[in-house]
Structure 1
Amino acid sequence: MSLLLLSFLLFIPILLLLRRERSSSRRVPPGSLGIPIIGQSLGLLRAMRANSAEKWVQERISKYGPISKLSLFGKPTVLVYGQAANKFVFSGGGNAIANQQTQSIKMILGDRNLLELSGEDHSRVRGALVSFLKPESLKRYVGKMDEEVRRHLEMHWQGKQQVKVLPLTKALTFNIICSLLFGLESGKQRDQFLDFFQAMIEGMWSIPINVPFTRYNRSLRASARIQTILKGIVHKKRIELQQNAASARQDLISCLLGMVDEDGKQLMTEKEIFDNIKLVMVAGHDTSSVLITFIIRLLANKPAIYAAVLQEQEEIAKSKPEGEALTWEDLSKMKYTWTVAMETLRMFPPVFGGFRKATVDIEYEGYVIPKGWQIFWVTAMTHMDSSIFPEPSKFEPQRFENQASVPPYCFVPFGGGTRICPGYEFARLETLVAIHYLVTRFSWKLCSDNFFSRDPMPVPSQGLLVQISPRTLS
């Protein structure tokens, strides 16, 4: 009898634990974590490459609702959807949500980049980057950007009958980054840098299994080579600043090296400079190149919109002496062109989505997001919501004539709230300068179909092959 009683008493804690686990599991969002490590990663990546990723996400939303669990890139994840979800993610959930990207992005870019930092570290590093990327600072670089765009068009577009737009816009934005952000002029080192950079970004959304011949492995090795190059550049610029042979405002690296706190201590560590330079490279290269490419694609398909953009840009060109560079004031006149860019970003956002991490158990929409889980949000889901943007499949730049009329946390190609991308203004400048010279110097028509896949950025088939011809001001 005593043995039976003892067995019963020992079994009670087990029963209570099982009941607590069942109760907790019912409160975790619906869905499945799938196969360990792999989860739903391969399904999402296949859908992205087939240009059906939004459909893949929408099917999950239809099946499970606006919040569901899955496993992506080796970690348990909660997918959240809608305006309230975007606000929840970008406002930080009262410090319950921390910045965190996938393991692959973290390992390739480094764990001290802005996307991985939270709290005081995030504010400190973001403040350092914003001091260079804010409009007041960028005004002085418009002429340099203008010079890079004109040189690029003369080398790669002029005299050609056909071009592949995406590879060329990637080369253009990379050259702008090298020149303005790193002070790295054209030559062998810049070309080598580009090869390593392209290899690095290929594996940023990949399953983090580090074995030879995988995308992840190739990206890690390319990232290490880039870091070696950056160490040399940073060392050289540090010496130049110490010898007063360079200005702290001549490029981003010099700017970051020259920043000190009230005690005279350098504001950012050397590792933070390396990791955030790689982040800025990716953000400034991919977002703008994809945006410029899709504007060109759109203008080829929308003659009326092309005509309106051309008229605005020709008026600016005619108001200037021939050969004179664009100015900040010229860019401020390109209002219609920027609404076209914004509508392009709404329909074809370069960034598919992003990740955060729950720092504590979070109560959200009647469920618990467990501590340590990833939170995944998808850019296009609110962009293509007909309750937010009527007739979302229709291209209408006038939606953005008054940006205040767009509901907050619904248009999020650059994030939202205090988490908006600090490079937003930089992307705007290089996009407008590039489009100005493209539409005033060339006309084009598509030679390829309109299909594109995501890898993870949108990639048009054949790199968007177009037939081009020179044009003069009408």
Structure 2
Amino acid sequence: MAAFIFSLLPPFIIIIIIILYKTYNQPKKSKPPSGQMGLPWIGETIGFYRAQRRNQLYNDFFQPRIRKHGKVFKTRLMGSPTVVVNGASANKFFMSNEFKLVISSWPTSSVELMGKNSIMEKQGESHRCLRGIIASTLTPSGLQEMVPRMCDSIQKHLQKNWNHQDEISLHRSTKMVTFTIVLECLFGIRIEPELMFPVFEKVLEGVLAAPVNFPGTKFWRAKKARGEIEKVLVDEVRRKREAMESGREEEEEESRMLLSMLVAALIRGEITEEEAVDNVVLLVFAAHDTTSYAISMTFKMLNNHPNCHFRLMEEHEEIARTKKPGESLSIEDVKKMEYTWQVARETMRLFPPIFGSFRKATTDIEFEGFTIPRGWKVLWTAYGTHYDEEYFPDPMRFDPSRFADPVQAYSFIPFGGGPRLCAGYQLAKLNILVFVHYVVTQYNWSLIYPQEPIVMDPLPFPSKGMPIKISPRSHN
């Protein structure tokens, strides 16, 4: 009967029915996320950079697009179609699928200056090999040995640069001390920090600049400074290699530092000299600049929240009472700084040292009903998760108690996650806690500009250098 009725229908109606049937029964095709691609090639890069310089990436760039398009949206940045992803589930998906669906994708200028042979650019087995070497110095026993060295470096810095002063630039001071700690305590490299620090700073100025290697440009100046650093580090690597191959004995502690580990791998043929040098350069930058910003902002939050400062002081004074004059902290002392680490984590939630990181899709990716085409960039952002009420209610309020208990996985990502979780995470944690301890137990301090603006060029920093008034604490 159905066939008979169907045969009586006009041909054009039959054609329409067939088209509708096929359309309805075809598998649903995924679509790209919504968003604006902006101008050809340039896309929305200008707006992105303007917001970045004002340290308003979240308010002026990410948040308006999240409101309009959702947590996953498309744009075009620095010539590449890009999908910006936000939220714990997106962070987990893309970070845990490193090397499978996505690979690290940094701007050309960053790669040129940090090093093509650094862990930042390595994939697969090469990445695992280098990461294993770095991790071997940051084991529990390695960290235990590092604490006294770090205490010594910090106290020497404070005695030299803080004593007999009534005002100092906190941010510059923290950059100098973390720079020294990375070179001396992690690598075992003895270089005058006052001489090398300004050269490293010139390199940093160019890491997100246009890769135009023409005299007078930021990138040209950064490349020139990078060449100076490379000469010094090549000499250090070769000196260390010659000593190790000639059988000259190192001190046991020195043999467990990262430079010795890298050179040992070089002698075994596991890495090249270029890989050893590039990874020293990368880790100095990755550790010292982000850590110094985290320390500076921690002091800003303590200054602006006296109740938190009082509770933190109690924690450190109790630890100080157990130490003899001149006695260094131990790893067990650091473990007692639980509230201080809550304060530091809440600070890094509100003021992440990096806004996020770029990846590149190595295949078409299906995610939450969207398709991200092969070759597109993926940008995960710290702001888009740290400021999300789903994970942190009343997100703009400073509340260290958020971290009294574990937070949802991949909702707190100042150090990234997955296979590319910051290799120096534990070093940064030690640096923050030990530095805070010696400052709050030895000095009275206060910010001169409590509401000092934060700007970015290319990483965030206090616009005035965060000057503070200081005076020695009385220990009667």
Aligned residue number for residue 440 of structure 1: 441
Aligned residue number for residue 472 of structure 1: 474
Instruction: Determine the C-alpha separation between the residues in 2 that align with 1:441 and 1:237.
Output: 38
Match of 2:284 among 281, 293, 298: 281
| Alignment check: 8 A CA contact 1:152 1:172 kept | yes
The two structures, once aligned, show a CA RMSD in angstroms of: 2.1
Instruction: Determine the C-alpha separation between the residues in 2 that align with 1:185 and 1:465.
Output: 28
User: How far 1:451 moved relative to its partner?
Assistant: 1.5
Instruction: Determine the C-alpha separation between the residues in 2 that align with 1:415 and 1:326.
Output: 29
| Alignment check: 8 A CA contact 1:97 1:358 kept | yes
Aligned residue number for residue 18 of structure 2: none
Aligned residue number for residue 421 of structure 1: 422
Instruction: Determine the C-alpha separation between the residues in 1 that align with 2:91 and 2:427.
Output: 24
| Alignment check: 8 A CA contact 2:148 2:330 kept | yes
Instruction: Determine the C-alpha separation between the residues in 2 that align with 1:75 and 1:33.
Output: 10
Moved more, 175-184 or 69-78: 69-78
Match of 2:142 among 137, 142, 156: 137
Work out whether 1:162 is the aligned partner of 2:167: yes
Q: Which amino acid aligns with 1:252?
A: L
Match of 1:100 among 87, 98, 105: 105
Aligned residue number for residue 48 of structure 2: 44
SS in 1 for 2:83: strand
Work out whether 1:210 is the aligned partner of 2:213: yes
Aligned residue number for residue 27 of structure 1: 31
SS in 2 for 1:468: strand
Give matches, 1:446-461, under 5 Å: 446-448=447-449, 449-461=451-463
User: How far 1:140 moved relative to its partner?
Assistant: 0.9
Instruction: Determine the C-alpha separation between the residues in 2 that align with 1:419 and 1:209.
Output: 29
Work out whether 1:367 is the aligned partner of 2:373: no
TM-score by length of 2: 0.88
TM-score by length of 1: 0.89
| Alignment check: 8 A CA contact 1:440 1:472 kept | no
Aligned residue number for residue 153 of structure 2: 148
Aligned residue number for residue 23 of structure 2: none
Aligned residue number for residue 10 of structure 1: none
SS in 2 for 1:132: coil
Aligned residue number for residue 19 of structure 2: none
Please list every run of 5 or more consecutive structure 1 residues that lacks an aligned counterpart in the other structure. 1-24
Q: Percent identity over the alignment?
A: 38
Can you list the C-alpha shifts for 1:122-170, whole angstroms capped at 9, x where unaligned?
2111111111123321211211110110011111111111111111110
Aligned residue number for residue 338 of structure 2: 335
SS in 1 for 2:93: helix
SS in 1 for 2:255: coil
Instruction: Determine the C-alpha separation between the residues in 1 that align with 2:134 and 2:437.
Output: 27
Aligned residue number for residue 114 of structure 1: 119
Give matches, 1:17-416, under 5 Å: 27-55=31-59, 56-92=61-97, 95-185=100-190, 187=192, 190-245=193-248, 246-247=250-251, 249-259=255-265, 265-403=268-406, 406-416=407-417
User: How far 1:37 moved relative to its partner?
Assistant: 4.9
> Given the superposition, is the C-alpha separation of residues 41 and 226 from structure 1 closer, same or farther in structure 2, using an over 3 Å criterion?
farther
Can you list the C-alpha shifts for 1:250-309, whole angstroms capped at 9, x where unaligned?
53111111137xxx8332222221221111111110121011111111111111111111
| Alignment check: 8 A CA contact 2:444 2:473 kept | yes
Instruction: Determine the C-alpha separation between the residues in 1 that align with 2:297 and 2:152.
Output: 23
Aligned residue number for residue 14 of structure 1: none
> Given the superposition, is the C-alpha separation of residues 184 and 125 from structure 1 closer, same or farther in structure 2, using an over 3 Å criterion?
closer
> Given the superposition, is the C-alpha separation of residues 439 and 44 from structure 1 closer, same or farther in structure 2, using an over 3 Å criterion?
same
| Alignment check: 8 A CA contact 1:41 1:207 kept | no
> Given the superposition, is the C-alpha separation of residues 358 and 152 from structure 1 closer, same or farther in structure 2, using an over 3 Å criterion?
same
SS in 2 for 1:445: strand
User: How far 1:417 moved relative to its partner?
Assistant: 3.1
User: How far 1:326 moved relative to its partner?
Assistant: 1.1
SS in 1 for 2:117: coil
> Given the superposition, is the C-alpha separation of residues 367 and 117 from structure 1 closer, same or farther in structure 2, using an over 3 Å criterion?
same
Moved more, 219-228 or 77-86: 219-228
User: How far 1:191 moved relative to its partner?
Assistant: 3.0
> Given the superposition, is the C-alpha separation of residues 240 and 114 from structure 1 closer, same or farther in structure 2, using an over 3 Å criterion?
same
Instruction: Determine the C-alpha separation between the residues in 2 that align with 1:350 and 1:427.
Output: 12
Can you list the C-alpha shifts for 1:433-470, whole angstroms capped at 9, x where unaligned?
10000000112222123321122322112111111121
| Alignment check: 8 A CA contact 1:450 1:460 kept | yes
Please list every run of 5 or more consecutive structure 2 residues that lacks an aligned counterpart in the other structure. 1-28
Q: Which amino acid aligns with 2:215?
A: P
Instruction: Determine the C-alpha separation between the residues in 1 that align with 2:330 and 2:456.
Output: 35
Q: Which amino acid aligns with 2:34?
A: P
> Given the superposition, is the C-alpha separation of residues 179 and 68 from structure 1 closer, same or farther in structure 2, using an over 3 Å criterion?
same
Moved more, 174-183 or 278-287: 174-183
Instruction: Determine the C-alpha separation between the residues in 2 that align with 1:224 and 1:186.
Output: 16
Q: Which amino acid aligns with 1:365?
A: E
Instruction: Determine the C-alpha separation between the residues in 2 that align with 1:418 and 1:117.
Output: 12
Moved more, 339-348 or 29-38: 29-38
| Alignment check: 8 A CA contact 1:110 1:275 kept | yes
**Computing the radius of gyration over CA atoms, which structure comes out larger, 1 or 2?**
2
SS in 1 for 2:182: helix
Match of 1:463 among 430, 455, 465: 465
Q: Which amino acid aligns with 1:222?
A: A
> Given the superposition, is the C-alpha separation of residues 386 and 440 from structure 1 closer, same or farther in structure 2, using an over 3 Å criterion?
same
User: How far 1:35 moved relative to its partner?
Assistant: 4.1
Can you list the C-alpha shifts for 1:47-90, whole angstroms capped at 9, x where unaligned?
12212111111112223322222232343322111112111221
Can you list the C-alpha shifts for 1:394-427, whole angstroms capped at 9, x where unaligned?
2111111222xx1111100111233321111100
User: How far 1:93 moved relative to its partner?
Assistant: 6.0
Instruction: Determine the C-alpha separation between the residues in 1 that align with 2:121 and 2:284.
Output: 16
Can you list the C-alpha shifts for 1:302-326, whole angstroms capped at 9, x where unaligned?
1111111111111111111111111
Instruction: Determine the C-alpha separation between the residues in 2 that align with 1:439 and 1:368.
Output: 51
Instruction: Determine the C-alpha separation between the residues in 1 that align with 2:126 and 2:209.
Output: 27
